[in-house]
Homo-oligomer: A and B are copies of this chain.
Amino acid sequence: MEADLRKLRERLAEISDLGRMLFLAGWDQRVNMPMLGGPARAEALATLGRIAHEKFVDGEIGTLLERLSSYEASVEYDSDEASLIRVTRRDWEKARRVPTELRTEMLLAGAQGHQVWVDARANNDFAAFLPTLERNLDLKKRYAECFEWDDSPYTPLLDDFEPLMQTTEVAEVFDTIRPVLAELVRAAPQVDASFLDVSYAPELQRAFAERVLATVGFENGSWRLDPTVHPFCTSFSRRDVRLTTRYQPTGLSSFWSTMHEAGHGLYAHGIGRSLERTPLANAPSLGLNESQSRTWENLVARSRPFWSCWYEPLQEAFPEQLGSTDFDAFMAAINRAEPGLIRVEADETTYSLHIILRFDLERRLIEETLAPKDVPEAWNAGMRELLGVHVPDDARGVLQDVHWSSGGIGYFPTYALGNVISLQIWSVVQEAIPDIDAQLESGELEGLSGWLGENLYSLGRKFTPKETIERLTGSPVIDPQPYLAYLRDKLSALSAGA
């Protein structure tokens, strides 16, 4: 048994190493790579991805998993060993169901679709994008057919990002939050944020963000922050975390974007040491991962306690822009709700409505109750209904997001689930750290990151998303009430102030 387990670990470590190099190649591509390096990078990424996949679906891993069944049953469910065997088995069985030819075609279509989308968006030309969308949908439907499902062919797609979640469960959560959010947005007060609409020097934005990042709980020498076009976070080990951000010449949005990526980074940084080089060295789902980026971006970095510590330093960094803006006006501006066209620029209250629209369209496309050619019309109607905004063109409408171009269908819901879950976990944090507000007020963030590290991040993927949520909250249910209560409180505070 021990020899088998050691052999399994060796095989998985090798695949994990290949994964690290794939992430590095992706990071470099988006942060450093000279423009003309693209084609060779694509070849190398494809080769590395193929080798990693071949090594994983290999029959030997299946044999080892088979032979380790009785051992798995003999050790604690919670142990690293049982979790490793259990989670690897599910991954392996999923991976084996997909013919290599389909997987290759999906990768290829995704890679080719990206440039088509870039051009289509630049030219506001949905017709040019339509064949790509149709091809990706077709491939995703074939992918879904590789699996069994009860409620919707959308469920196997969702499963790649939110394992073991049913489409109907997502719909239930979204049906609960949709009317409340829409009503909150309608009733939200107008807030003056004109002082955020002026020039903020990027190098000063960077210096301020790095000052805050130095306090959030990363070990020194385990992370870095670089500028990029579309911010993201990746990591090659728990001690090699790469945050990226985009400094806008106007406004401070980069700060919250940086804190968002720092949340992802803290998750990666907190993964248990014993899980390194295994498939468990990750978050259990994108929703849980996103819950933590949202926690650090919003629950921390838009909160009164946080800014009662950091607003003075911010004013000192930007005396011309903020010197005459009082604390309450700043707090109102960074917490305001304002319907807009673009998801990635959306505020905390409107954000999930953008997601609900995308989920609804994706599901109908996969269930074939909406034709791809009719998506722009449905999009525009949805934006009117949900957010009360008029979409002037497809570039600022249906073509705004990258996901569909590369076949990332089933991904969007995780953003809104993350918002919801972040508040469920935050409720627990508030009980576990009763003086959390006082800590934030004194600039003490490591109490929070330490608690989250110990109780959430360190678990990695040992448990399913629901098991993980249950360990924290006592219930496996995704409950939107704390989230809705939080937004209600936020907006009534705004109204009271306005």
Interface residue ranges, A against B (CB under 8 Å):
13-14, 17-18, 20-21, 24-25, 28, 32-37, 39-41, 43-44, 46-48, 51, 219, 221-224, 236-237, 239-241, 276-277
Given contacts A24-B28, A221-B35, contact A240 B40 (CB under 8 A): yes
Min CB gap A205→B, angstroms: 20
**15 CB-based A-B contacts, threshold 8 Å:** A13-B43, A13-B47, A14-B47, A17-B44, A17-B48, A21-B21, A21-B44, A32-B224, A34-B222, A34-B223, A34-B224, A37-B237, A40-B277, A41-B240, A44-B236
Q: How far is the CA of A8 from the CA of B178 in the complex (A)?
A: 58
Contacting pair A240 B51 (CB below 8 A): no
A239 touches B34 (CB 8 A): yes
Nearest-neighbor residue (CB-CB) of A226 within chain B = B32
Q: A14-B47, A21-B25 are in contact. Are A40 and B239 (CB under 8 A)?
A: yes
Query: Can you name the residue of chain B whose Cβ is closest to the Cβ of A35?
Result: B221
CA distance A236 to B25 in the complex (A): 11
A89 → chain B closest CB, angstroms: 23
| A93-B305 Cα distance, complex, nearest whole Å | 68
A215 to chain B, nearest CB (A): 17
For the complex with contacts A21-B21, A40-B237, A43-B277, 10 further pairs of A-B residues with Cβ separation under 8 Å are: A18-B48, A21-B25, A21-B44, A24-B24, A24-B25, A33-B240, A34-B221, A37-B236, A40-B276, A51-B51
In the complex, what residues of B have CB within 8 A of residue A40's CB? 20, 236-237, 239-240, 276-277
Q: Are B239 and A36 in contact (CB under 8 A)?
A: yes
Whether A36 touches B219, Cβ cut-off 8 Å, given contacts A21-B44, A24-B25, A48-B18, is: yes
Residues from chain B with a CB closer than 8 A to the CB of A219 are: 36
Measured CA separation A43–B36 after assembly (Å): 30
Min CB gap A269→B, angstroms: 10
CA distance A51 to B15 in the complex (A): 11
Across the interface, which residues of B come within 8 angstroms of A28, CB to CB? Answer: 24, 28
> Within the assembled complex, what's the spacing in Å between the Cα atoms of A46 and B18?
11
Distance in angstroms from A223 CB to nearest chain B CB is: 6
A18 — which chain B residues lie within 8 A by C-beta? 47-48, 51
Instruction: Tell me which of A37, A219, A236 has the highest count of chain B C-beta atoms within 10 A of its own C-beta.
Output: A37
Q: Quick one: closest B residue to A237, CB to CB?
A: B40
**Cβ contacts under 8 Å, A48 to chain B:** 17-18, 21
A237–chain B nearest beta-carbon distance, Å? 3
Q: Are B223 and A14 in contact (CB under 8 A)?
A: no
Whether the pair A36, B277 counts as a contact (CB closer than 8 A) is: no
Quote the shortest CB–CB distance from A427 to chain B (angstroms). Answer: 34
A37:B277 contact, CB within 8 angstroms: no
Whether B37 contacts A239 by the Cβ 8 Å rule is yes
The residues of B that contact A17 with a CB separation of less than 8 Å are: 43-44, 46-48
- Complex CA–CA separation, A35 to B241 (angstroms): 11
Residues of B within 8 A of A222 (CB): 34-37
Shortest Cβ gap from A18 to chain B (Å): 7
A44 to B18, CA, bound (A): 7
Tell me, in angstroms, the Cα distance from A53 to B166 when the chains sit together: 44
Q: A40-B20, A47-B18 are in contact. Are A34 and B277 (CB under 8 A)?
A: no
When distances are taken between beta carbons in the complex, the residues of chain B under 8 Å from A237 are: 37, 39-41
Identity of the chain B residue whose Cβ is nearest the Cβ of A218 in the assembled complex: B34
- Say yes or no: B51 contacts A14, CB within 8 Å: yes
Which B residues lie within 8 Å of A241 (CB)?
Answer: 34
